[in-house]
Amino acid sequence: MTLVRLGYVAMSTHVKNCSPSQTMTFSQFCRIGDREAAIRKLERIAASNLENCLRLLRHNAAHDISFFRLTSKMIPLANHPELPEWDFVSPLAEQLNNIQVFLKDHPYMRVDFHPDHFVLLNTSNSETLKTSVKTLKMHKALLKGMGIDSENRCVLHVGGGYNDHEKALEQFIHNWGLIPASIQKMVMLENDDTTFSLVETLYLCEKLGIPLVFDYHHHLAHHSKSENWADSWDRVIRTWQHAKLPIKMHISSPRSERDYRAHADYVSAQMMMDFLEQIKGSVKQIDCMIEAKQKDDALFKLAADLKGFSNVEMTDGASFYIH
């Protein structure tokens, strides 16, 4: 028997006018003319994003959703090279503290980030690596402002293949030694759908002590003919043995056979069960992040569809035991 908690990504289809990702481009910033006025506008946008983030967390609590991915776009231009002097945390202290108070009152709620694809820890370009670490430090500052322990809160892909997977993996290991320990502790790695398979990602996770976030859809889209994910599941579990949080995975369904890698609007309950039937009992709890175009509506539909399976015992609106 395993407890499964469902979560979703960043935005709600049910809570209207609640984007936590409102933005301003650097071109728009420059057109304002007065730099201080432009920064104040950035801060107003960021404050609105954080307020909407809190609205989403309240929506989640009302519907028993205890797992949520925060958007990495909450603070527009936060790590832009032309704004090195901007301290975005201090002027947002009130909004960050409001989220901190909410999460303290809801200690069961798990939130994390999935920084964008341009965060590359296996790059051979020193400037790209520097920017990637700076971006992760921005995430760490936000987590600190929200009172969240930053350990294992940022999911990353391994990075580029650079036409030589073995060399790219070794470059990751080399770069890892250059990254501050506090940033290392934030990281989880995910197998991707085009470049680094589950087995390749496991190689890094086991060597460097990084938890692996298994993406079931990515594996189905990208694996060798001899690779069976279930054969590696115990190894995936062991990468979490020292983590403070339960094991997590990603679930999504392909949009179509022709467009297999793209995410569908909703998640197939049968696809979810195909996975859960093989791992039930192997862990006490698993948190499943739904990556679907319809966001929380996809979660609600999946939860409703799963009720039709005899070995599913719902515990609330977004969690269940699989027997």
* Residue 213 backbone phi and psi in degrees, to 5: -95, 110
**Rounded (to 5) percent helix, strand, coil in the chain:** 40, 15, 45
N- to C-terminal Cα separation, the chain = 5
Residue matched to tokens 């979810």: 272
The span from the CA of 216 to the CA of 276, in Å, is 11
What b/e readout covers 15-33, taking b as 16+ CB neighbours within 10 angstroms?
beebbbeeebeeeebeeee
Ranges in the chain, pLDDT < 70: none
Residue matched to tokens 């990084």: 210
The pLDDT assigned to 84 comes to 87
The model's pTM: 0.96
The span from the CA of 37 to the CA of 236, in Å, is 49
The pLDDT assigned to 226 comes to 86
In 194-252 the beta strands, taken as DSSP E runs, fall at 212-215, 247-251
The pLDDT assigned to 224 comes to 87
Which superfamily, per CATH, for 2-322?
Answer: Divalent-metal-dependent TIM barrel enzymes (3.20.20.150)
* Residue 115 backbone phi and psi in degrees, to 5: -55, 155
Give the pLDDT confidence of 230-254 residue by residue, as tens digits.
999 999 999 999 999 999 999 999 9
